Amino acid sequence: MPLKTEVAVDAAAQGNRQWISTSKLATKVYKAGRAYIFNNRRAFVISAHVIQAALANYLAFVLRFNFILRLEYLRQMLSYFPILLAIRLASYLSFGLYKDVWRYSSVDDLMKIVKASAIGSLIFFGAVRYFYGDKGYPLSIYFIDYMLLVMISGGGRLFIRVFNEYAQRENSGKRVLIFGAGDAGEMIVRDMKNNPEYAYEPIGFIDDDPYKKGLSIHGVPILGPRSALEKIARKHGPEELLVCMQSADGTVLNDIYERCNPLNIPIKTLPPIADVINGRVTASQIKPLSLEALLQRAPVRADIKPVRNYIAGKTVLVTGAGGSIGSELSRQILEYGPSNLIIFDRYENSLFKTDMNLRELMKKNMGINTGWAGRITTVIGDLLDHAALDLLFSSHRPQIVFHAAAHKHVPLMEHNPMEAVKNNIFGTKNILDFSNAYKIEKFVMISTDKAVNPTSIMGATKRVAEMLTINMDRSSSSHFSVVRFGNVLGSNGSVVPIFKEQLKRGGPLTVTHPEIKRYFMLIPEAVSLVLLAAASGSGGNIYVLDMGEQVHISRLAENMIRLSGFVPYKDIGIEFTGLRPGEKLFEELFDESEQLMPTSHKKLRIAAPAGISSPEELSRHLAALEKIVVSGSKDMLIDELRTVVPTFRRAGICDAANT
């Protein structure tokens, strides 16, 4: 069925465009004539106004005397012709009608014609009746002349506009089917018709409102609902599908996308009207449908009162602020009005970028929201540097700490296990110790689903970091908790940016295994839930975000190829390269030993930790790990991690890859 549909769509597209090729000569003639007129525009417009005024006056006499114009009336008409034309021209010039571009004539232009003609007729009446004292000039001529002039002048402009719209439709225009016969759809069709240089030809609307079927907008018919898409596409042969449903969420977009898949027609979309200057969308803003749009779920509220009460007026520290999660955490925290936001990272370039973005955001919002009265403090430092951390805490006295700094790339950490242990375990221990020593209010560690039943060194080190955080809560007067979630879309080094780069090079897209699956969530949504978890309850909990369903990476690759306007395995290939060191086929959010508990928010759950080593036992393991890191023995390091994390089951492929 998809093959038949593709053939039918292609045939319809070719058949519907045959008439355009026959109009090439007319288009060339039109363009040449328009160029000549534009080069001599002012003279042409003034001449046209004079001719229109003369024609209207002549036809007024002809109509008044039933198409029999006797010599005496002809002489009367001609005797006042120069006066009439001079008055008409002066009134038109005073209203600036010679400046208008006729191809864009509107109701405002028509009103100017009505006013200029009315004033000209009144002046002409006064001149003939009272200045020259000619009471024999027929009174009805004044009115008929006025009405005819409005019709001829306004009608001429309308003709130019209509002719221009149709004459410029060349065979390069893409036939576009538009989803959504609302405000955005109306604006985009109007813009396409007024600006043929965009090379789009709207052929119809798709809209689920049954009352709109059979109607039209700007001459473009509303063809039916989403359910009839395949039938409509077969009949009309669109080359692109443009989504103009501003209220469409991820569910609606996914449904549209699935219906379009068999047709192999590119899907484009528009930005939300709220993101567009003056709320006006145009054809120049059309862009491919993004993967982010397909994964978009119901948003978390932008301003959550418990989070504002938790952050406003506080000094907040974010470690790893140069990373994907850390930078978005910093941005959202800033919107809740902290007295001081400290952004901390050891990488200068990424931290500089975050700093610049935050200051631009603060500058933009200062004066609009009184909560933006705090300051931003940027600190470059290393979590392994005790002196730097001591100076940071003693100088700024943070009250809330969000710990997002970590090494996270699984294959890299398989080959650099010492760095994974130093940064993810000892770096976390250091920030925990200083947070406890300086009696902060609350500490939130960002963890990963790879810490659950880990098969990689990175996952095992993050599991140890979770244990350290929960143990610290048990022995401290401050509150320490963990927020665990899976992959976020578009983070540094994630699969989506890699696929985009491979698409730019023409493919193929590389996937490690046909069955590999991952959780995905948009970064802003994940961070909103992290803040909500931080503001909820006391410490000692592992909060787990609702990540939805896992996605096959191979299907993700196919979707990205289709969204780029190509056909998977035909235009762009997909290669399977084999699992990388430490990589799982699928991820888990909960350990079998953890007890699941609900929270007040449906997108947040608690994994009540169990089987965590005691502080004393964990300290012994940390001392052993510290000695191993100094000695540099990789095998001993892995054995010790297996002892600390009993669920650590390093895959055989990983061992083979690292021997």
Residue 351 and residue 346: Cα distance in Å, rounded? 8
Contacts of 97 (CB under 8 A, 6+ apart): 45, 49, 109, 112, 113, 116
Residue 385: both structure tokens together: 């540097």
- Cα–chain-centroid distance for residue 475? 46
Count of Cβ atoms closer than 10 Å to residue 5 Cβ? 17
Residue 144: both structure tokens together: 């008929």
Helices (H), 127-209: 139-167, 183-194
Q: Say if CB 484 and CB 451 are below 8 A apart.
A: yes
Asked if residue 454 has a cis previous peptide bond (ω within 30° of 0), the answer is: no
Question: Alpha-carbon torsion 648, 652, 657, 658, what sign?
Answer: positive
Residue 26 and residue 364: Cα distance in Å, rounded? 52
Q: Say if CB 555 and CB 520 are below 8 A apart.
A: no
Residue 284: both structure tokens together: 């120049």
- Cα–chain-centroid distance for residue 311? 28
Helix (H) or strand (E) holding 343: strand 340-345
448: helix, strand or coil: strand
Residue 38 and residue 45: Cα distance in Å, rounded? 10
- Catalytic choice (408, 422, 450, 517): 450
Degrees to nearest 5, angle at CA 187 with 186 and 192: 100
Residue 510 and residue 490: Cα distance in Å, rounded? 17
Count of Cβ atoms closer than 10 Å to residue 331 Cβ? 19
Residue 39: both structure tokens together: 């080069």
Residue 202 and residue 219: Cα distance in Å, rounded? 10
Residue 649 and residue 659: Cα distance in Å, rounded? 17
For 432-438, the CB contacts below 8 A with 24+ separation are: 432/468, 432/469, 432/472, 432/480, 434/389, 434/390, 434/392, 434/393, 435/393, 435/398, 435/401, 435/472, 435/478, 435/480, 436/472, 436/476, 436/478, 437/393, 438/393, 438/394, 438/397, 438/398
285 sits in the region (left: phi over 0; alpha: psi -120 to 50; else beta) called: alpha
Place of tokens 């042969």: 237
- Cα–chain-centroid distance for residue 466? 35
481 sits in the region (left: phi over 0; alpha: psi -120 to 50; else beta) called: beta
Residue 634: name the closest of 653, 618, 620, 654 by CA: 654
Query: Concatenated DSSP letters for 575-588?
Result: EE--PPTT--SS--
Contacts of 539 (CB under 8 A, 6+ apart): 442, 443, 473, 478, 479, 480, 481
Annotated active-site residue 450? The verdict is: yes
Helices (H), 536-614: 553-563
Catalytic residues: 450
